[in-house]
A and B are shown apart, each in its own frame.
Chain A
Amino acid sequence: MVSTQVSLAQKTRLNPFCLPSDTGCRFALLIVTVLGSSLFIYDALALHRFDPKAYLSCLALQPSMAEVAGNIGSPMEIRDPSILVAKSAAFSKCVMRAQRISAEWMLGGVAALAVVTLAIVWFLPAIKVRRGRLEPLSAEDAPEVVACLAELSDEAGLRKRPRFLWNPLNAARSGLAFGRPGHPCVALAGGLVTEFYTDPAAFRAVMRHELAHVRNADVSKTYFAVASWYAFLAVALAPFFVSMDRGFLATQIWRVPFLALLVYLSRSAVLRIRETYADVRASQWDAEGGLARVIAVLPQVKESVWWKLWRLHPTPAERCHSLDHTENLFETGFWETLAAGLATGIAFPNVQLLLQTLVMGSVQVGILAASVFAILIAGIVGTRIWRSTLAALVGAAPAPKTGRLGLALALGLVLGLKFSFSAAFAVQAPVPGRTLVTFLWDGLLVIALITGSALFVRWEMISASAWLGTTATARSPLMMYLFAQAVSAVFLAVIFGSLVVAWQVGQTYLSVGLPGFAPLLLAGLLVVLTQPAFTFLLVALWAFPLAAWFWRASPEATAPSWVFLDQPTIPVALPQQESLQPKLAFRVGLVSGVVFSLLHLLIRLAWHFSLHGSTASNNAKITMYYSQILLAALVQLGAAALTAARVRRLPLLHALLTACTGAIIMAGAFLILNVTFGGSVDVKFASDFLQSVVNAGALFSLLLVPPVVIIRRRLL
């Protein structure tokens, strides 16, 4: 990706504030974990009031297995499914009514959780003032200190100065930023105020750190994190333990400490990372070097990684290191990504459960739930990948490892689904002899999930790399980042939603004893080929990253100022990247379209002047239709491989552009020739053919072009 590795980190520090910080990512994770776990708890509580009779009466409405099996004919045979569809709808409506109580409990519970959290956030500052016996620090108390604090607030660029409070009788040497949203306060212990007279640089360092919390807008996040933990304990876990019957608790009790632990560690992670960001921010204003000195004399602790997870502060050694090496804040680690997957995996089935009681249709529910989590994953993991890619682009850190991160994300999702409270209730009566095929189906979906996750990570990285390169003259990369995250959320929603729907359909299909694993795969492939969502996915795959070519920076562009925390004295040249070559890919695609058109014309002529042309059966026409799709896909594959062999940067994406360009020409030629030779074309036929040609060509290219890329790289 980066052709020249210039270690800019040696020259100046990277600016960790140019993109949304990890504090926000961890905070979002915490909220997802709390929300997901709480939803389940309220659903479990609702089960106490669940009327099994209502559910049993619904079962009588659902279509029988014989009816379903009887409606499935051969792939060439079309049967009217309206009776089955009507029965399924009646069953779904009945179940929704029966499960309404779960929705009420879940929504009510989450509302209660939110109210308690907000109440804690609202009242906590007042409690702190009272318990800490804090009083306003006035100019009468210490005029020099008050003047210094005003100066430091202005230096921090705060729009509104915080309220400074102190406890003169507290000998501690500490400060604390707290307060309600929009009303920040900073508390000073008497010991710290005394330090203003004995070691003013140390005093200023501590105050800069506290003001940095206000500037970083992490004070509200901190107290929301603290409050959400207490609210989770009081409003979710406590009622759960009180209300659940012993039989359930005996078998499922292990899930509770696990989830509580996850919530607690997520909270601690938020509190820990914000300290590092506050240190880095404060260091920008601390020309006198007081901060590093104050941190260096903090008590050093040697702890295992496990114990570090519990701490609310990084160790002094870590804090000192982060001051000089801000590139560490740009890393995307395996465990952080796994945690993101885990939190999402835990929350996902519970949100799906809630949606099932509000929205009809399992497909719609699956897609809706997947969309919610696509936004979360794109926001959390996507942000981290953008940060890592930025560091890699300027040569300050290695590029994120796609496979590793994809595996972490998928592993987290799978583990999350297993650890989720919902898994406790997901007990289905197995159909004899079906265990193996459902297991195989699950295995296949897990592989698809890992592949999809790796694809998402890789795509995020490529997009970040392409688009960050265009922001050399921009004042901030934020707008571009936000746009990219919106696109990637849709991108991921399609991947994740398709997998969820495929898994549900497959599970239902196989678990009720309908025939065959292979027919299911074949049906799935045919569905994929004609899916507009899949076409969108394939087009987005290349279109978004390659569109950066239109806004490409000049080769002489220097690194924008927002990349660095401290402005370099001389402009820093950006490491040169190979340029994108969409023109070449487009040209090859056009040629492939022409090649297919000529081949298809010859076939058409032969078909037309042969016996088939006038008396062809439906089966022969269907064979002709699919054979042309296959031919188009093969020609696209050849052209895509050619492009991949010639392009240096992002060869696979260029190959997909070639395939897509070719597919559009091919579809156009096919439809025109169809009309020319006496056939008819309607909108549905045209769109189905276009989607099939685009999807088939892209699918072939995705599977077979990577070996070409690998071979070419080895040869070079």
Chain B
Amino acid sequence: MPTSEFDQLSAEIGRSIVSRAAPQELPLYRSISQAYLQAPGDIQGKAVSKDEMLGFGMAEAVTYLTPVILPVLTSVLKFLAEEVKTSVHDQHLVGDALRKLFGRAPAGSKPMEVVLTREQLVQVRKLAFEKARELNLKDQEASLLADSIIGSLAVPA
């Protein structure tokens, strides 16, 4: 599965997570995800550039989840793609499998059994948390984001 497809998928899945974790960011979601898809490496965390020193003076960043969710989801999706490869015989169906995991199986897609183990979910959470921390989210915020991602995965009862 090419990288751009992961980014695309992150943008799709991200909307539902943002609507739960940071609904105030939804009006800007389309613009932000587009900007992210155009330049995924441009995410700026809470680091303050020198230019902002000439700005209003509020050097601090807000808890701004959308730009962080997207790269975190991309990492998570890459990890999950590797994990589901073994249970999906046709490699072209990895994308569908990932969508299914997030409860977004495309209409008319072939039925398939994709289930994550508890250990895999723990790994997903850890990965999401660490990536979010890497992007300068505070522990609490990173934890909230990781939990939101886990909550979005279709966990079997």
Chain A residues with CB under 8 Å of chain B are 128, 131-133, 135, 140-142, 144, 167-176, 178, 187, 189-195, 197-198, 206, 209-210, 222, 226, 271, 275, 294-295, 298-299, 312-313, 316, 319
Question: How many angstroms between the C-alpha atoms of A187 and B51 in the bound complex?
Answer: 10
Q: Are A142 and B55 in contact (CB-based, < 8 A)? A: no
Tell me the count of chain B residues lying within 8 A, CB to CB, of chain A: 34
Q: Are B51 and A171 in contact (CB-based, < 8 A)? A: no
A133-B42, A169-B35, A298-B58 given as contacts; is B28 within 8 A of A191 (CB)?
no
Closest residue of chain A to B36 (Cβ to Cβ) is A169
A133-B42, A142-B28, A171-B46 given as contacts; is B54 within 8 A of A294 (CB)?
no
Question: How many angstroms between the C-alpha atoms of A12 and B121 in the bound complex?
Answer: 63
Question: How many angstroms between the C-alpha atoms of A226 and B60 in the bound complex?
Answer: 23
B32 sits at the interface (CB 8 A): yes
A142-B31, A299-B60 given as contacts; is B43 within 8 A of A194 (CB)?
no
Q: Are A168 and B28 in contact (CB-based, < 8 A)? A: yes
Q: Are A168 and B49 in contact (CB-based, < 8 A)? A: no
Q: Are B67 and A210 in contact (CB-based, < 8 A)? A: no
Question: How many angstroms between the C-alpha atoms of A299 and B48 in the bound complex?
Answer: 14
Q: Are A174 and B55 in contact (CB-based, < 8 A)? A: yes
Question: How many angstroms between the C-alpha atoms of A126 and B73 in the bound complex?
Answer: 33
Question: How many angstroms between the C-alpha atoms of A210 and B49 in the bound complex?
Answer: 17
Given the complex, which residues of B lie within 8 Å of A131, measured CB to CB? 49, 51
Per-residue CB proximity of B12-40 to A under 8 Å, as 1/0?
00000000000011011011100110010
Residue from A135, A171, A316 having most chain B Cβ neighbours under 10 A: A171
B64 sits at the interface (CB 8 A): yes
Q: Which of A133, A170, A206, A316 contacts B39 (CB 8 A)?
A: A133
Shortest Cβ distance from residue B20 to the other chain A in the assembled complex, whole angstroms? 16
Given the complex, which residues of B lie within 8 Å of A313, measured CB to CB? 53, 57
B139 sits at the interface (CB 8 A): no
12 A-B pairs with CB atoms under 8 Å apart are: A142-B31, A144-B27, A169-B32, A169-B42, A171-B68, A172-B58, A172-B62, A191-B64, A194-B62, A198-B62, A210-B55, A295-B57
Shortest Cβ distance from residue A308 to the other chain B in the assembled complex, whole angstroms? 14
B120 sits at the interface (CB 8 A): no
Q: Which of A167, A173, A198 contacts B24 (CB 8 A)?
A: A198
Per-residue CB proximity of B44-74 to A under 8 Å, as 1/0?
1110110111111111111010111000000
Closest residue of chain B to A316 (Cβ to Cβ) is B57
Question: How many angstroms between the C-alpha atoms of A174 and B59 in the bound complex?
Answer: 7
Given the complex, which residues of A lie within 8 Å of B24, measured CB to CB? 194, 197-198
Question: How many angstroms between the C-alpha atoms of A133 and B136 in the bound complex?
Answer: 19
Q: Are A132 and B62 in contact (CB-based, < 8 A)? A: no
Shortest Cβ distance from residue A342 to the other chain B in the assembled complex, whole angstroms? 26
Q: Are A170 and B44 in contact (CB-based, < 8 A)? A: yes
Q: Which of A128, A171, A222, A299 contacts B62 (CB 8 A)?
A: A171
Closest residue of chain A to B32 (Cβ to Cβ) is A168
Given the complex, which residues of A lie within 8 Å of B42, measured CB to CB? 133, 169
Q: Are A171 and B28 in contact (CB-based, < 8 A)? A: no
Q: Are A222 and B57 in contact (CB-based, < 8 A)? A: no
Q: Are B62 and A135 in contact (CB-based, < 8 A)? A: no
Report B77-133 residues with CB < 8 Å from chain A CB. Answer: none
Shortest Cβ distance from residue B100 to the other chain A in the assembled complex, whole angstroms? 29
Q: Are B54 and A312 in contact (CB-based, < 8 A)? A: yes
Shortest Cβ distance from residue B53 to the other chain A in the assembled complex, whole angstroms? 5
Given the complex, which residues of B lie within 8 Å of A175, measured CB to CB? 55-56
Q: Are B32 and A173 in contact (CB-based, < 8 A)? A: no
Q: Are A168 and B27 in contact (CB-based, < 8 A)? A: no
Question: How many angstroms between the C-alpha atoms of A175 and B54 in the bound complex?
Answer: 9
Given the complex, which residues of B lie within 8 Å of A173, measured CB to CB? 58, 60-62
Shortest Cβ distance from residue B17 to the other chain A in the assembled complex, whole angstroms? 16
Given the complex, which residues of A lie within 8 Å of B56, measured CB to CB? 174-176, 206, 209-210
Q: Are B31 and A171 in contact (CB-based, < 8 A)? A: no
Given the complex, which residues of A lie within 8 Å of B35, measured CB to CB? 135, 167-169
Q: Which of A169, A295, A316 contacts B44 (CB 8 A)?
A: A169
Shortest Cβ distance from residue A164 to the other chain B in the assembled complex, whole angstroms? 13
Closest residue of chain A to B41 (Cβ to Cβ) is A169
Q: Which of B46, B54, B67 contacts A190 (CB 8 A)?
A: B67
Given the complex, which residues of B lie within 8 Å of A191, measured CB to CB? 61-62, 64
Q: Are A168 and B31 in contact (CB-based, < 8 A)? A: yes
Q: Are B51 and A128 in contact (CB-based, < 8 A)? A: yes
Given the complex, which residues of B lie within 8 Å of A135, measured CB to CB? 35
Shortest Cβ distance from residue A315 to the other chain B in the assembled complex, whole angstroms? 10
Beyond the given pairs A169-B43, A299-B60, 18 more chain A to chain B contacts, judged by CB atoms under 8 angstroms and listed by A's residue number, are: A131-B51, A132-B49, A135-B35, A141-B31, A168-B36, A170-B44, A170-B67, A171-B46, A172-B60, A174-B48, A174-B52, A175-B55, A176-B52, A187-B51, A190-B32, A191-B64, A194-B28, A195-B62
